[in-house]
Amino acid sequence: MKKQQPGIVAIFRYLDDICHVTESIRDSRDFRGHEIVSFTSYHELMHLAEERHGPSQVRWFTLVGALSGVFTGFAMPLWMDYDWPIVVGGKTAGIYSVPAYFVFGFELMVLFGALATIMGMLVMGRLPNPKARIYDKRTTDDRFAVFVPGVSVESEQARLLKEKGAEEVYSTT
């Protein structure tokens, strides 16, 4: 595990509290380099992250996976049809059988898109990360945390976090 850097950790119980704190400190110079820790994903926190960092890049993984699935879903049966033609009703092999390939194209689009999305989430989330810092074990269960580097418990930042609803504020040194 990575060595803890000095700073403070504020523990919050409710999602509303962490959202209000995040909105109030996101552009403040006093909270530069802060990190928000959540035990799961919430659309409120994702919306705040998108405002600050832009939309997630995982969607491009999904698009590329889905398009490659559609291409594979049409190319594979078409190639097989030319290699082993089964002439039914006088139709020649190949392009005349394409309407039947929509099923393959759709199914592989869904499969490749889903697998690419999972891969994109792992890559963009840098998971698994053996060097990840866990500031407080409660954040893996049911609490939220705000880590502010380089400040002390007696600072103005700690007082503001307590006023905004922090259950506890402590130092990581």
Residue 97 has pLDDT above 80, yes or no: no
Closest to 20 (Cα-Cα) out of 169, 165, 159: 165
Q: What is the pLDDT of residue 1?
A: 46
Are 134 and 8 spatial neighbours (Cβ–Cβ below 8 Å)?
A: no
Ranges of each domain in the chain: 7-54+132-171, 58-124
Mean pLDDT check: name the lowest of 7-21, 22-36, 91-105, 133-147. Answer: 91-105
Look at strands 144-149 and 7-12 and give their pairing: antiparallel
Mean pLDDT of 116-131: 90
Long-range contacts of 67-70 (CB under 8 A, 24+ apart): 67/109, 68/112, 68/116, 69/105, 69/108, 69/109, 69/110, 69/111, 69/112, 69/113, 70/105, 70/106, 70/108, 70/109
Residue-wise pLDDT tens digits, 8-17? 999 999 999 9
